[in-house]
Amino acid sequence: MKVILFGATGMIGQGVLNECLRDERVEEVLAVGRSSLGIENPGLRELVQPDPSDLSGIAGELAEFDACFFCLGVSSVGMKEADYRRITYDLTLKVGRVLAAANPEMTFIYVSGQGTDSSEKGRSMWARVKGKTENDLLALPFRAYMFRPGFVQPMDGVVSKTPLYRAAYAVTGPLIPLLKRLAPNAVNDNREIGRAMIAVAASGSDTRVLTPREINARARTQL
């Protein structure tokens, strides 16, 4: 399969990229972002530009891709709702609409988060915006799936770019093995998310919104 990947420099995106490059079924990854990954791999291409949602330069190729793994996102901490919405909703839907029009058979997997508010009416700003994003992606004419991971464990030396998250992982890191024993379906590592995405792109899923438990279950089918 041929995959478009957004957010490959992020903690989740790096894990997804690594799994794609390891999996023989993924023949090509096109990583779209604002900065180069600095990786050389025969299965990897990059589209580096200031606006990652502008796919006009590859418009003629879009129908050839089988899946889009959308891992691009920002923390809502300290952000006004309008600014958070512009990145989380506007950019994502712009990409989704272009891809759905180019290839209605494409699988589009969006990384949301546990606690996302599908009603779009709750008190949590990030959860409302994520809920609106999910709902509108699911209404587009392609095969859309929403991934709602729980606590995400970085693997393979991957480090979050967000200072707050780095500080949190420094404190909680030693406790992750205990958390995984006590609540195994509350934790997803970034490798598992990548494996689950490939599994869903290859064979679909019975549910359009996947919980941490379901993400882990699909990841295990890839081992």
| 146, 110 contact by CB (below 8 A) | yes
Domain ranges of the chain: 2-220
Q: What is the pLDDT of residue 152?
A: 86
Query: Does 1 score more than 90 pLDDT?
Result: yes
Lowest mean pLDDT among 49-63, 126-140, 177-191: 177-191
Beta bridge partners of 188: 152
| Of 68, 66, 26, nearest in space to 47 by CA | 68
**Average pLDDT score, the chain:** 91
Element (H, E) at 145: strand 143-147
In this prediction, residue 179 carries a pLDDT of 63
Cα–Cα distance, 147 to 138 (Å, whole number): 12
Q: Residue 28: helix, strand or coil by DSSP?
A: strand
Does residue 108 contact residue 144 with C-beta atoms inside 8 Å? yes
Among candidate residues 107, 125, 128, 91, the one with its CA nearest the CA of residue 210: 107
CB 110, CB 133: distance < 8 Å: yes
Tens digit of each residue's pLDDT (9 = 90 or more) over 74-109? 989 889 999 999 999 999 999 999 999 999 999 999
Would you state the pLDDT for residue 162? 61
Evaluate if residue 182 carries a pLDDT over 80: no
Residue listed under structure tokens 């994520």: 130
pTM of the model: 0.90
Q: Which CATH number fits domain 2-220: 1.10.1840.10, 3.40.50.720, 3.40.190.120, 3.90.600.10?
A: 3.40.50.720
